[in-house]
Amino acid sequence: KETREKYVTGDRLGEGTYAVVYSGHFRSDPARLVAIKKIKVQQEWKDGIPMDAIREIKFLQELEHPNIIKLYDVYSTKDQNISLVLEHLPLGDLEGLWKNKEISYTSADIKSWSNMLAQAIWWCHEHFVLHRDIKGNNLLIAADGTVKLADFGLARSFADAGRPMTHVVITRFYRPPELLYGARHYSGKVDIWSVGCVIAELAIRRFFLTGDSDLGQLAVICEHFGTPTEETWPGVSKLEYYIKPSEQQSWQGNGTAPRKGYPSSWWKAAFPLLGDDGIDLLRAMLTPDPNKRLSAKQVLDHPYWTNAPRPTKKENLPKQG
C-alpha cells in the first residue's frame, strides 16, 4: 500500500516560505493527528528533488527525541511534490509566546523552555546533525506544553537547494559572527549562538540582536561583546569579511572607536529574569569566538539548570490558544 494512503489530509493550517502545511490524521486512527507539510516545487529543481534534501530527511527520520519534532513519513505525489508527515504541534511557537501580551511568565518558565531547547540541540549535535536555523518560530509547542525543535536543515535543503556550505544560513538576528565574517568551515557552535539569542529574547520579550543588514548585525554584535581582534579570537582576521578595528570607524559610523562591549552591570540590568547564573550561561553561549563558545554538552552542564528556581514542570507552563 502507498505511504500517502496511510494519511488523510485536512484543512490548510498555514504557508511558509518553502511549504504549505495542512492538518491531517492517520487513516487507521482519526484521533491521531499529524501535520502534513507539502514542499513547494522550485524552478531550479529540473531533475526533481535534490539528493541532499532527501539525505537530510532520512537523517531527521532517525533522530528520535522528546524535544525534536517527529517525522512519521515522507511521500511524493503525482505532481512531483513531496510531503512530510510530521508530529502535530498545535500550540504555536516560542516567538508567538513572548509576543503574546496576554501571557505572563516567570524566570522558572524561561528556564523550562530554554532547557527543552538545550536538550534538543544537544541530541542533534550528539548525532552530528546541525540545525542551522534555530529561532523562536522554529520551536513549536505540543498540546502538553513540550517545546519541539522543527524545520531541521530543511531550511537549507529546500530554500537554498544545491548550494554547498554557504555562509548565508540562519536568519540574520540569530546568525553568529563567524558566519557574518564569511566562515565556510563551521560547526555546531553556530546553533549554540542561535540558542543563546532565543533564550535572550524569551527573557526580554523582544528580539535581542537586531541588525538591519549583515554589516549592521556585526556592528550590533561588536557593540554588545566588543570588536573581535586576534587577541580575543585567534584566526578572526583571516576570515573573508573581517574588518580591521582600525577600519571600522567608517562602517560603525560617528567616528566610533572599536567597541569594548557592555559591562556586567549592563547585562544585569537588561536580563533581570535570568539571574546571575543565567546571564553567565547566556554570555558563554554568546561568545564571539566559536572555539571559546560553549558546546551543547557544556550548556547542559551549567549550574543555571539546577540552581533555584527549579524549571517549571511542562504541564504547568503558560500556554497560548
Report the catalytic residues. Answer: 133
Nearest residue to ligand ADP, using CB? 16
Of the pair 21, 204, the CB lying nearest ligand ADP is at 21
CB 93 → ligand ADP: shortest distance, Å? 7
Instruction: Report the alpha-carbon angle 44-45-50, nearest 5.
Output: 125
Of the pair 93, 178, the CB lying nearest ligand ADP is at 93
Reference 14, options 186, 114, 150, 177; nearest CA is 150
191 phi/psi in degrees, rounded to 5: -65, -35
Contacts of 150 (CB under 8 A, 6+ apart): 69, 86, 89, 138, 139, 140
Judged by the rule CB under 6 A, the positions of this chain that interact with ligand ADP are: 13-17, 19, 21, 35, 86-90, 137, 140, 151
Contacts of 243 (CB under 8 A, 6+ apart): 218, 251
Q: Say whether 257 sits in a helix, a strand or coil.
A: coil
Of the pair 15, 144, the CB lying nearest ligand ADP is at 15
Q: Say whether 129 sits in a helix, a strand or coil.
A: coil
Of the pair 85, 183, the CB lying nearest ligand ADP is at 85
CB 218 → ligand ADP: shortest distance, Å? 25
CB 35 → ligand ADP: shortest distance, Å? 3
51: enclosing H helix or E strand: helix 51-62
Assigned C-alpha cell, 143: 498540546
CB 261 → ligand ADP: shortest distance, Å? 33
